[in-house]
Amino acid sequence: MAQVEVTINGRNYQIACDDGQEAHLVQLGEYIDKRVQELVSAIGQVGDSRLLVMTSLLIADELAETYADLKKTSAAMESAVSAEAMEEKLAAIVDATALRIEAVTRDLGDAG
């Protein structure tokens, strides 16, 4: 198991992670620190615990928005797939109808 040091709001934290996940964990730490620094710029230093709770809530809100967007996109894709399937069914009906018309026309031509 690997150890990674991340710095958030000027404090260093040693975090354990699976081997190969170090770079990803560093990126996550940098993202959290960036969000904390944005809060510090807006409201000042209000204590690490409060800043981390507020940052967690902001990130959770981002995640909720992302899930909502994903759900909308998924529904739109399902609708598009459904429309495509309907189009294929209609094309099959049109083809079958055309074959019937050709057969009737041929029968009428033979009868005439």
Domain boundaries, the chain: 2-111
In the numeric block, the tokens 């404090």 are attached to 11
Cα separation, 34 vs 23, whole angstroms: 16
Distances, alpha carbon 62 to alpha carbons 66, 67, 79, 100, in Å: 6, 9, 26, 57
CB 51 within 8 A of CB 9: yes
pLDDT of residue 60: 96
Per-residue pLDDT reduced to its tens digit, 58-97: 999 999 999 999 999 888 888 877 878 888 888 888 988 8
pTM of the model: 0.65
pLDDT of residue 112: 63
For residue 3, give the DSSP letter: E
Scanning 5-47, the segments in alpha helix (DSSP H) are 22-43
Per-residue pLDDT reduced to its tens digit, 8-67: 999 999 999 999 999 999 999 999 999 999 999 999 999 999 999 999 999 999 999 999
